[in-house]
Amino acid sequence: MLYDNPDASLICTFKHDNALCELEPGATAPRQYDCRPSCGNTVRTDTHARLPRERADEIDQLADHAPQPIGQRLRTNANRLRTTADTQDATAQPAETLT
């Protein structure tokens, strides 16, 4: 079963034994609010890489108008989102190679 998690910009291929989210015993679905990017159940599409980049651009615009300490934290967050997207681009495989 696949679970789309737009808030985390990923799809979860839920397998209980691999899940890093805090699960209850016998859970049959992930806890989407506790999604962790390093989980082995995560899958990203090209769209999942594009969305964080768009959000990073929005955050940079906010940072331009924020006081220095807040602006720096916003830019750090934007850079983290871009790193996630860059990793997706660098490790992406065509669907044909996965079947």
- Token pair 């679905």: residue: 29
Cα distance between residue 41 and residue 30, in whole Å: 10
pLDDT band, very low/low/confident/very high, at 74 (cuts 50, 70, 90): very high
Question: Which residue ranges make up each domain of the chain?
Answer: 1-43, 46-98
- Stretch 10-37: mean pLDDT, rounded? 87
pLDDT band, very low/low/confident/very high, at 99 (cuts 50, 70, 90): low
Q: What per-residue confidence (pLDDT) applies to 96?
A: 72
The model's pTM is: 0.71
- The count of other CB atoms within 10 Å of the CB of residue 10 is 24
Residue 26 has pLDDT above 60, yes or no: yes
Residue 43 has pLDDT above 90, yes or no: no
pLDDT over 70 percentage in the chain: 97
Q: Which amino acid is at 5?
A: N
Q: What per-residue confidence (pLDDT) applies to 53?
A: 92
